[in-house]
Amino acid sequence: MHPSFTKRSRRSVILLAAAALATGGSAAAACGGSSDPPAATPDGGGAIGFDFDATPESSVKCTNLECQIKECVDDPAGTRVLGTVTDPAGARPIFNAVVYVPNAPLAPLGAGVSCDRCDAPHSGAPLRITTTDAAGRFELDNIPAGANIPLVVQIGKWRRTVILADVPQCSEISADLRLPRSRAEGDLPRIAITTGAADALPCLLRKIGIDDSEIGVAGSAASMHLFQGGGYGGGDGGTPVAASSSFTNGPVFTSAQALWNDPAALAKYDAVLLACEGAPNDDAVHKSPAAKQALYDYAKAGGRVLATHYHDTFFSGSPDPAPRGVAAWSDRAGPAAGDPRTTPVDTEVASTFAKAAAMSAWLAKQGALTAGGKLALFDARHDVDGVDAGAGGAVEWIQVANPSYPAAPALQHLTFGAPIGASSAEVCGRVAFTNVHYGPSTELGLVDDATKPFPAGCQTKALTAQQKALELVLFDLVSCAQDDSAKIVTPH
């Protein structure tokens, strides 16, 4: 039974972990204590919460925290923890995050591309494990009772450990968890983001709560690195528009070509996000055949790729036939009645598979859908007519009818696994092609500008409906690999 549907008449202990951590305190401090260990520590930092000399009270063989799981005669759910997982900003719930009680120290998360599958066991020998629903809620029954019980939240390589300072036997504990903002709070993925003159995508990192210390240039100690992508214009005597190329009064970004032309450079990152440049820029210098092959090879090795709009050329123009055939790539007049940059189009979010149905429910709960249940998108385009469902588990998430081309809907968001054509058990990487741009963002006369230095070009604070959808796309992308059209894999 889910936490939102029950009220229990037992003792309830409320853990305000996020508030305690925000002030540098501990989970114990949030409950009135003063000397317990910090509520969250970097993973791999020791056996916090574990007593390796624990002795079972009966002849039943058990180890570590497993020995602290006690039967509650009047309640088969036993000692329980329930709560909600939110993004690093603590503002929006996270769908499909894994929450568990470990029975051993966590292994460090390796940096860089790796095959992260949903059916692989989680580190720390979990005693109890679950995933969050579309509202970010979770529930774990029959957890260990006692002091300093560790609770892990993870999605992809975002991972944080929170210590439950006091878990009374046969009680119900409330623990609202937040993903880490920085590596001082836990683990973060290594992400490369290329800028684009038509898409202020890097601004999304700040809005979802990533600390500025974690955003830097290639080679820096930060976990997320910005690269300069391309711009548009300049034809017929026009003025070219260049993408953001530096930090405000700070270092200059390395070129995007240095990233995607080099397989070794790509391999340093868990995910690569490509902001829309406003033009295809599909030439032998900017997006060479070798670069297109390198990006697909990176995905095959387990990389995550988010490609917006004109970056479809990495797949439609790939020298490898697999990404060319995964979808019916096209270049048609778009569905907007006017300028797509300023004219939103009401799109349909699929409900035919579990993850898309959760996306629709999540967007509705965040107030991101219209009264008619549609997702209004700026910059909707028609670059894809459909997908080959048999190729890499390719699935269609968001689409809209296109009056300019009634023969096929204009797909706005699709995903596929890599290697394309491999069995679902052999898929390691994930690719999302999307027309869910960052979109226009204006707030109290302030505007986010993709051409200005970072973070000066990021002026607004609140997420628009479209940016909420993009946040959901990002966290789904970095999560573990599975067949997106199938039932959500139960973690272990």
DSSP characters for 333-367?
--S-SS-TTT--EEEEEP-SSHHHHHHHHHHHHTT
Give the residue from 335, 317, 419 showing the smallest Cα distance to 374.
335
Dist CA 361 CA 349 (whole Å)? 10
Dist CA 290 CA 295 (whole Å)? 9
Q: Are 177 and 84 contacting, i.e. CB atoms less than 8 angstroms apart?
A: yes
| pLDDT (0 to 100) of residue 237 | 62
Dist CA 168 CA 146 (whole Å)? 6
| pLDDT (0 to 100) of residue 368 | 96
Give the residue from 285, 449, 463, 469 showing the smallest Cα distance to 374.
469
Q: Nearest 10 degrees: CA dihedral of 431, 221, 90, 273?
A: -20
Q: How many CA atoms lie within 13 A of 306 on its CB side?
A: 30
Q: Is 291 helix (H, G, I), strand (E, B) or coil?
A: helix
Dist CA 126 CA 100 (whole Å)? 6
Q: 354-365 and 465-478 are packed helices; what angle lies between their axes, rounded to 10 degrees? A: 140
- Which residues in the chain come in under a pLDDT of 70? 1-60, 234-237, 392
Structure tokens at 488: 């959500």
Top CATH class of 191-478 equals: alpha beta
Q: Where in the chain is the domain with CATH 2.60.40.10?
A: 3-178
**φ, ψ dihedrals at 484, nearest 5°:** -60, -25
Q: Where in the chain is the domain with CATH 3.40.50?
A: 191-478
Q: Is 323 helix (H, G, I), strand (E, B) or coil?
A: helix
| pLDDT (0 to 100) of residue 30 | 34
Top CATH class of 3-178 equals: mainly beta
Q: Which residues contact 86 (CB under 8 A, 6 or more apart)?
A: 18, 92, 93, 94, 136, 176, 177, 178, 179
| pLDDT (0 to 100) of residue 288 | 96
